[in-house]
Amino acid sequence: MKYKNIEINWLGHAGFKIKNKEKIIYIDPFQLNSSYEKADIIFITHPHYDHCSIEDIKKIIKSETIVVSTSDINSKLRKVNDNLNIKLVEPNQEFNINGIKVKTIQSYNIGKEFHPKNNFWLGYIIDFDGVRVYHSGDTDIIPEMNTVKTDVALLPVGGTYTLDSFEAVKVAEIIAPKLAIPMHYGSIVGTKNDAENFVNECRKRGLNAEVLEKDD
């Protein structure tokens, strides 16, 4: 879909491709099943196989591609290519990468063991010339979300390992993005009904939300 000056494509699960006039960015590419454009930047939220897929990263890298990730993914990423350009980051950082402004937000579970807080895994706020996109990573409702200011929020709705659809609505209320898009469903856990429930509940609360069809 087009949103202002960017194009947002849901790749299934928690994966997205986002383009502006100058850059092609991927976030957590997983089970890519088509011929995709090569990436300028790839953002990885954490090491789990459905977010850091070596097979899929190999499909979209070129010599200039930069992969942004947490330090505990470094050795895994070296399986892609010994010369892979990796930028290791931590929560609560702000930086500029090839003209793209990025802020890292911690991402974790509360009361679940799947994504511990002390692993320092990530969500990202990526600024495309003034249009900010927040990819939350695998998370529950956490205090750090009170600091998030974004135009577009990509939020998990599948439950079990992350927010379920109703919890994701609460996050959308906290963040109040101009557009909320559900993710983390339809592959490992969660269904399209979860995504549609999220969108319907958001709209009841006056929040703009949309289900994206998977980009095949």
pLDDT tens readout for residues 17-40? 999 988 999 999 999 987 789 999
Q: pLDDT tens digits for 143-183? A: 999 999 999 999 999 999 999 999 999 999 999 999 999 99
Residues contacting residue 72 through CB under 8 Å, at least 6 positions apart: 47, 119
What percent of the chain has a predicted confidence (pLDDT) above 70?
A: 100
In whole angstroms, give the CA distance from residue 60 to residue 42.
Answer: 9
CA distance 125 to 107: 12
What SS3 class is residue 12?
strand
Largest Cα span, the chain: 50
What is the pTM assigned to this prediction?
0.96
H or E element that contains 76: helix 74-77
Write out the two tokens for 108: 């974790």
Query: Strand, coil or helix: what is 164?
Result: strand
Distances (CA, A) of 133 to 43, 150, 165, 175, 208: 12, 6, 19, 12, 14
Gap between the Cα atoms of 59 and 194, Å rounded: 30
pLDDT tens sequence across 58-77 = 999 999 999 999 999 998 99
Structure tokens at 82: 């010994």
Going by pLDDT thresholds of 50, 70 and 90, the confidence category of residue 215 is confident
Residue 33 one-letter amino acid: N
- Distance set, CA 205 to CA 15, 42, 86, 162, 208 (Å): 27, 33, 41, 22, 9
DSSP state of 172: H
DSSP code per residue over 22-60: S-EEEES--S--S--PPPSEEE---SSTTTS-HHHHHHH
